[in-house]
Structure 1
Amino acid sequence: LADAAVDSGRVIAPLGRSMRRNMSMAREMGLLRIPDSALIDVEDVDRHEPGKVLVLCTGSQGEPMSALTLLAGQENRWLKLHPDDTVILSSHPIPGNEHAVTKVIDNLFRQGVEVIHSGVSDVHATGHAKAEELKLYQSILKPDWFVPVHGEYHHLVAHARLAETMGTPHDHIVVAEDGDRLVLDDDGLREIGRVPAEYVYVHGTVGGVGTGVLADRRIL
Structure 2
Amino acid sequence: MTEENYPQDRNEVCIGPTSDSAGKASSCAGCPNQSACASGKFKDDKEKTSQEAEDIAMRLEGVKHILLILSGKGGVGKSTLSSQLAWTLSYWGFQVGILDIDICGPSVARMMGVERQEVRQSSSGWSPVYAKDNLSVMSIAFMLHNRDDAIIWRGPRKTGLIRQFLTDVEWDDLDYLIIDAPPGTSDEHISIIQFLSKVPRTHAIVVTTPQEISLLDVRKESRFAKKSKSPFGSRGKHEWICLSMLSC
TM value normalised by structure 1: 0.39
For CA contacts below 8 A with separation 6 or more, give which structure has more relative contact order. 2
More strand by share: 2
The structure having more radius of gyration, on CA atoms, is 1
